[in-house]
Amino acid sequence: MSRSPVAPAPRLRHRLRAAVGRFIPYALGNRCLRLFLRQQWLIARLYAGELRLFRDFQDAMRPSPAGPGADARTHIAANTFGSWRVLALALAPEHEYFRWVTVRGREVIRRHTDSGKGLLVVNSHVGSPRIVTLTLSRLGYAVNSLEVGDLIARLGVADRHSVSVTLVRKEKTRMWLREVYAARKVLSTGGIVHLAGDGYKGDSGYERGLLGRVRRFATGFAELAVGTDADVIVAFSHVKADGHIEVDFSHTLHAGPASDDKRVRVHRLIDQYVDLLQDRYVHNAANARWSHMRRFLDLPAQAQADPPLQRLAGGQ
């Protein structure tokens, strides 16, 4: 069993990173981080447990990782100094921000927002998720994000970006009516709502195969989309070893005809999202987060690929 990364108390950790982020700009800090990542003997010693976890994760994945996405240096870069990355980039001038952050799918966002319908941006815990909301803000969009913690506010830069966070209360596993009502109100007026689609919170959902394991995916984002007739796009972020980050908004999900059963449309959206998520892991395993890898390894193995929509359409 791999060890958990040792860290100070959360409040002190955020204060330390905020202090570092305010005095070390992204380019300088990234140069130091790249130098640190080149010390392979030190990385192997400091992150022995995490690298072992990463190897176990790759060994368990079905299908196996493809291409150069399983690089250990990229993996450490994607899993460390995350708060500093967010703060340093939040404080960076516009030209500096887009020097380091490459955006794919701008025209997809524009097409959906120009339609006048609400837009759900479904993120994941791969790469640097909060860079997605920062990027939307930098592109000129007002974003309403459902999160369990407001990192941007804790780092003291909320006033610089048009990201409004609705906190999902931790003491309940299910999204309360307040959160759902707030999201529906934004979507019904043509606004943008951002949330993660691969979180483990929630007491409702539907089981799907992912990388050879079986896990439950909450249906919250899909129910919101079907209930408000909102458009849905998937956002992925990819942290590279050299510090550059790619944010991809190019994938659109389709619920299908409004005449279809609501449950079929919800599951159709979940299926498309999970397929994209699996492909992202296969081609970019290095950006998997430590907490999600641990949970993945605890999941039961998938006996066989059995498309849930076919079962559902058959009358279950």
Bridge partners (DSSP) listed for residue 215 = 208
What's the pTM value of the predicted model, to 2 decimals?
Answer: 0.86
> 37: which 2 tokens?
């990542």
Confidence of residue 6 (pLDDT cuts 50, 70, 90): very low
pLDDT, position 8: 44
Residue 159 predicted with pLDDT over 90:
no
Average pLDDT value over all residues in the chain: 84
Average pLDDT over residues 26-55: 94
Average pLDDT over residues 283-289: 94
> Is 283:67 a contact under the CB 8 Å cutoff?
yes
Confidence of residue 89 (pLDDT cuts 50, 70, 90): very high
> 195: which 2 tokens?
């949330």
SS3 category, 13? helix
Residue 36 predicted with pLDDT over 70:
yes
CB atoms within 10 A of CB 99: 13
Residue 5 predicted with pLDDT over 90:
no
N- to C-terminal Cα distance for the chain? 39
Confidence of residue 315 (pLDDT cuts 50, 70, 90): very low
pLDDT, position 4: 40
Residues 208 and 219: their CA atoms lie apart, in Å, by 12
SS3 category, 306? coil
Average pLDDT over residues 103-111: 97
Residue 161 predicted with pLDDT over 80:
no
Residue 305 predicted with pLDDT over 60:
no
Confidence of residue 289 (pLDDT cuts 50, 70, 90): very high
Confidence of residue 254 (pLDDT cuts 50, 70, 90): very high
Q: Which amino acid type is present at position 69?
A: G
The answer as to CATH 3.40.1130 being correct for domain 10-301 is yes
> Is 129:237 a contact under the CB 8 Å cutoff?
yes
Q: Is the peptide bond before 63 cis (omega within 30 degrees of 0)?
A: yes
Residues 239 and 54: their CA atoms lie apart, in Å, by 16
Bridge partners (DSSP) listed for residue 253 = 232
Residues 289 and 286: their CA atoms lie apart, in Å, by 8
Name the more confident of 123 and 84. 123
Beta strand extents in 148-204 (DSSP E only): 163-167, 192-196
> Is 186:118 a contact under the CB 8 Å cutoff?
yes
